[in-house]
Structure 1
Amino acid sequence: MLDFDSFHREMVRQTVLCVGDLMLDEFVYGEVSRVSPEAPAPVIAAKRSETNIGGAGNVARNITALGAKCIFVGLIGEDAAGAELKAALAREPQIESVLVTDSARPTTRKVRFVSEHYRTHMLRADWEMSHPATGNTEQKLIDTILPLIARADVVLLSDYAKGVLTARVIRNVIDAARKLNKAVIVDPKSANFAIYRGATLLTPNRKEFAEATRSRADSSENIAAAAQDVMQLADCEALLVTQSEHGMTLVPRKGEAVHVPAYPVRVRDVSGAGDTVVAVLAVARGAGAEWEDALRLASAAAAVAVAKKGTATVTPAELRRQILPHAFLAAEEKIVAHGKELEARLAEWRRQDLRVGFTNGCFDILHPGHVKVLTAARAACDRLIVGLNSDASVKRLKGESRPVQVERARAEVLAALEAVDLVVIFEEDTPLKLIEQIKPSVLVKGGDYTREQVVGHEIVEAHGGQVVLVEVLAGFSTTSLVDRARGDKKSGGKA
């Protein structure tokens, strides 16, 4: 398994030169409840809109979201969309943008109309000029890009077929990068892979690969077979075919093909998922990851990205949580503060429509009775938050001799359990404020309580949640364990 923490330390040292088609992504969100009387078309009642740096610019954003640096070269027109993109890139501290302006063509802009109720794109409107850049603009791009290659660890070409990556620009960049021993990753658009000759890695999607190879590309075996000829043609080290929900297949020039299935996630928006994949691959390879490790990182990042709305980026923390089996997450990552840190985790889980559960207690000496309640609680939800009484709170509830273990020790023991996703320490005698903040879908307590005795049951039920009472395991209680241990000590026995 990849040592993610070591990888992350290398990741932030990387600089990626990203060249490609920049565009302004706009999303208009609203509800559809009627058909226009003027034409048989749905009417969207627009509620809000947002704009993002799109196309190759989203690749740049994903690179820096991972902690790496990005030098970005793109093309804009002399218009409002171009000015907005220039200003937006200037606000990105890790992106050094060098934009070439062509007054004869508009800045590429895409507006997507999205039904929030049905979570689907209804319509997309494009403002663009997709023919190749003119000779003068082409030369400006080449003159801008070539001096920057020496400063990069990896070169990434993001081709959206909007005119920036002409055959001449591609050839000049790849040849210059190879002379400096820089890896070149290409997200291709042309079906003629020969124009990318000399690149290290090509990353077509399934449709692009099938068109380029005239193959069915319907299985990993078929992809591996068809890839051999095209890799010879493109003189590349490896070829990666992305297949949406069917995962990804990497075919190296030497060695066996590797297939990684897609993570089972609820897809909210696939916009820009390919940008995330190539960004992770570039940073991972620059940081020294092997092909298979880089592929698994990219697959995990794609799963995070498609679970978000719009053209999304992925942080190292999100990537780490996705790629590592949950039981192996460091205990300290599961212990969070009451305020903004908790809200950030909740927001992430809500975006994924996960069912959040909650239980609480002192958990002074963890015993099988606790484990049974926690395991049953986790079975009733997708993510379980445990509220833990602070030392001061336990002392008020249990007396001056308690707790036996300090709150940090108790939190770490709880966080080490696979059933527990998050531990939050609270200072009050009851977790009422915490329950108000979380608004869990499921509130779990031991069966020695009645529903009416469970603190916060009114809040949970008012928001459509439920209270679950778990039968307690007879013969186990922290108080009896403490009393027994103290009795043994007084009698000289072993504690």
Structure 2
Amino acid sequence: MFDFDALTRAMVQTTVLCIGDLMLDEFVYGEVSRISPEAPTPVIAVQRSETGIGGAGNVARNVAGLGARCIFVSMVGADEAGATLTARLAAVPGIEPAIITDSVRPTTRKVRYVSDHFSTHMLRADWERAAPANESIERQLIAAALEALPRSDIVLLSDYAKGVLTARVIRDVIDAARAAGKRVIVDPKSANFAIYRGATLLTPNRKEFAEASRTRAASEADIAAAAHELMLLADCEAMVVTQGEGGMTLVPREGSALHVPAQPVRVRDVSGAGDTVAAVLAVALAAGADWDAALRLATAGAAVAVGKTGTATVTLDELRRRVLPHASLAAEEKIAAGAELDAMLAEWRRAGLRIGFTNGCFDILHPGHVRLLTEARATCDRLVVGLNTDASVRRLKGEGRPVQHERARAEVLAALEAVDLVVLFAEDTPIELIRKVRPSVLVKGGDYSREQVVGHDVVEADGGRVVLVDVLAGHSTTSLVERAREGGA
């Protein structure tokens, strides 16, 4: 897993150079209750309409929504829609727009008619000229991008095939970025991935991937095989294939493919979900995340985006609630047993989450405990803490212990953000609980050897691993109790 707080602190320090097609999105919402007498089509009784920044502009909004800075290069027409977009972008904190005006083309505008009752799109009307920018506009786009490159940590090309990302713009920007040692992420539209040659990461959806690879891409194995061929063509380091409710598959040039299932969510609108994925990947990678962490953050971002209507943005707080959902629960809701525990474990496994486990008495919580739990949580997606009951503690520690009863100890543990679930066990060792939880990662303090960790053989036989965390010197419950007693004497 990864340290969410450390990563997000780095994310807000990054700058993303985003280049792509800008468009004005309009959503018209209303109720449908009858068919037109003029033609066999539904009539929508309009109740409200909303306009917003769409296309690559929504990528820029998502970058800024994550707390990062976005230098955004694009073009608009010399019309009202273009003026609206330019003004709106300039008003978004965190976005530095560099918008080129093309007087011979309209600003791309899309109007979607949506049934409020069914939350479904009924019709979309487009105003656009999907043709490459002329040579003069090309030169201005390239100049703006190259001027911003030294101030950027990563480059993101958001291709909607509306004319900004011409072959020359793509080539000049990728070549300059590589020469400067900057990564380039491409959300592609062309089925010819060779035009993006030299990019670091391509993020096609399943349809775009199938068209580019000329395969059905029906399984993870199919995707991995076809992706390797496409990566040779595009000379890229990795490819992420987004598959809607099927999750995301990342295929690196070196190493094994990684698949992250989609998070369960009520889908309200998929518009712009790809924009969110591209933005999260760019900001996370710019902040130093590895492929695994970036993909898991992007999956969480997509779950937030599709749960909103319109072209939505995602904040760090929303990501936190998706990545660490149980951290926001009341302490008592995170203490589980019996059928409740079984149900929670089953839900996590269905979602493809890695479950970690550690255990102890945790009688008087101290900094050593906090370090153990924090580092344990960093190794997994969900952390289960096994807690000795009072009777168990007495057998292990002697009379006079525990200082705090089991419910108090459980509630204090459950209040920690690093802890997703607390489970009491009455035995002297947690071996039966470990067999039930079947963790991918078993964590214990570094004062143990691997062979001394109860359950190491069970976890490793199931394909898991044991992680030993360095002990924070000078902190132990026993010494705290002894000092308290000496002070009381």
TM-score normalised to structure 1 length: 0.67
Distance in 1, Cα, partners of 2:39 & 2:286:
53
Q: 2:122 is matched with which residue?
A: 122
Shift of 1:331: 7.1
Distance in 2, Cα, partners of 1:24 & 1:3:
37
What aligned pairs does 1:63-74 form with structure 2 within 5 A after superposition?
Answer: 63-74=63-74
Question: For the Cα contact (< 8 Å) 1:331–1:412, is it kept in 2?
Answer: no
Distance in 2, Cα, partners of 1:265 & 1:325:
13
Assess, with a 3 A threshold, how the Cα gap between structure 1 residues 412 and 124 changes in structure 2: closer, same or farther: farther
Q: 1:439 is matched with which residue?
A: none
For 1:85, what is the secondary structure of its paired residue? helix
Higher relative contact order (CA 8 A, sep 6+): 2
Amino acid across the alignment from 2:158: S
Q: 2:233 is matched with which residue?
A: 233
Assess, with a 3 A threshold, how the Cα gap between structure 1 residues 259 and 414 changes in structure 2: closer, same or farther: closer
Shift of 1:321: 0.7
Q: 1:341 is matched with which residue?
A: none
- 1:274 aligns to 2:274 (yes or no): yes
Distance in 2, Cα, partners of 1:37 & 1:78:
39
Amino acid across the alignment from 2:69: K
Amino acid across the alignment from 1:21: D
- 1:310 aligns to 2:310 (yes or no): yes
Distance in 1, Cα, partners of 2:215 & 2:100:
38
Amino acid across the alignment from 1:3: D
Question: For the Cα contact (< 8 Å) 1:187–1:202, is it kept in 2?
Answer: yes
What aligned pairs does 1:18-29 form with structure 2 within 5 A after superposition?
Answer: 18-29=18-29
What aligned pairs does 1:390-429 form with structure 2 within 5 A after superposition?
Answer: none
Cα shift readout 1:350-401 (whole Å, capped 9, x = no counterpart): xxxxxxxxxxxxxxxxxxxxxxxxxxxxxxxxxxxxxxxxxxxxxxxxxxxx
For 2:228, what is the secondary structure of its paired residue? helix
For 2:98, what is the secondary structure of its paired residue? strand
Distance in 2, Cα, partners of 1:87 & 1:144:
18
Shift of 1:412: 7.2
Q: 1:166 is matched with which residue?
A: 166
For 1:305, what is the secondary structure of its paired residue? helix
Shift of 1:142: 1.1
Question: For the Cα contact (< 8 Å) 1:154–1:183, is it kept in 2?
Answer: yes
- 1:31 aligns to 2:31 (yes or no): yes
What aligned pairs does 1:48-447 form with structure 2 within 5 A after superposition?
Answer: 48-326=48-326, 328-329=327-328
Assess, with a 3 A threshold, how the Cα gap between structure 1 residues 330 and 268 changes in structure 2: closer, same or farther: closer
For 1:320, what is the secondary structure of its paired residue? helix
Assess, with a 3 A threshold, how the Cα gap between structure 1 residues 70 and 298 changes in structure 2: closer, same or farther: same
RMSD: 2.2
Distance in 1, Cα, partners of 2:230 & 2:86:
37
Distance in 2, Cα, partners of 1:162 & 1:106:
11
Shift of 1:273: 0.1
Amino acid across the alignment from 2:62: N
Structure 1 unmatched ranges of 5 or more: 335-408, 421-495
Distance in 2, Cα, partners of 1:330 & 1:39:
52
Distance in 2, Cα, partners of 1:46 & 1:252:
47
Amino acid across the alignment from 1:70: C
Question: For the Cα contact (< 8 Å) 1:25–1:51, is it kept in 2?
Answer: yes
Assess, with a 3 A threshold, how the Cα gap between structure 1 residues 299 and 414 changes in structure 2: closer, same or farther: closer
- 1:16 aligns to 2:8 (yes or no): no
Amino acid across the alignment from 1:36: S
Cα shift readout 1:415-453 (whole Å, capped 9, x = no counterpart): 569799xxxxxxxxxxxxxxxxxxxxxxxxxxxxxxxxx
Distance in 1, Cα, partners of 2:234 & 2:158:
17
Shift of 1:414: 8.2
For 1:105, what is the secondary structure of its paired residue? coil
Assess, with a 3 A threshold, how the Cα gap between structure 1 residues 91 and 40 changes in structure 2: closer, same or farther: same
For 1:204, what is the secondary structure of its paired residue? coil
Q: 1:346 is matched with which residue?
A: none
For 1:37, what is the secondary structure of its paired residue? coil
% identical aligned pairs? 69
Assess, with a 3 A threshold, how the Cα gap between structure 1 residues 264 and 147 changes in structure 2: closer, same or farther: same
Distance in 1, Cα, partners of 2:295 & 2:93:
27
Distance in 2, Cα, partners of 1:324 & 1:413:
15
Distance in 1, Cα, partners of 2:241 & 2:413:
43
Amino acid across the alignment from 1:119: S
Distance in 1, Cα, partners of 2:9 & 2:93:
19
For 1:23, what is the secondary structure of its paired residue? strand
Cα shift readout 1:324-361 (whole Å, capped 9, x = no counterpart): 241x45979x9xxxxxxxxxxxxxxxxxxxxxxxxxxx
Distance in 1, Cα, partners of 2:25 & 2:84:
11
Distance in 2, Cα, partners of 1:50 & 1:419:
42
Structure 2 unmatched ranges of 5 or more: 334-408, 423-489
Shift of 1:323: 1.1
Distance in 1, Cα, partners of 2:211 & 2:270:
21
Assess, with a 3 A threshold, how the Cα gap between structure 1 residues 418 and 76 changes in structure 2: closer, same or farther: same
Distance in 1, Cα, partners of 2:141 & 2:14:
23
Distance in 1, Cα, partners of 2:191 & 2:302:
24
- Count of aligned positions: 345
Distance in 1, Cα, partners of 2:41 & 2:139:
45
For 1:296, what is the secondary structure of its paired residue? helix
**129-138 or 11-20: which moved more?**
129-138
Amino acid across the alignment from 2:323: I
Question: For the Cα contact (< 8 Å) 1:132–1:164, is it kept in 2?
Answer: yes
For 2:7, what is the secondary structure of its paired residue? helix
Distance in 1, Cα, partners of 2:244 & 2:414:
37
Shift of 1:413: 8.3
Question: For the Cα contact (< 8 Å) 1:231–1:237, is it kept in 2?
Answer: yes
List structure 1 runs of 4+ shifted beyond 2 angstroms.
328-332, 411-420
Assess, with a 3 A threshold, how the Cα gap between structure 1 residues 185 and 39 changes in structure 2: closer, same or farther: same
Shift of 1:228: 1.0
Amino acid across the alignment from 2:243: Q
Assess, with a 3 A threshold, how the Cα gap between structure 1 residues 39 and 168 changes in structure 2: closer, same or farther: same
Shift of 1:138: 1.1
Distance in 1, Cα, partners of 2:31 & 2:130:
32
For 1:264, what is the secondary structure of its paired residue? coil
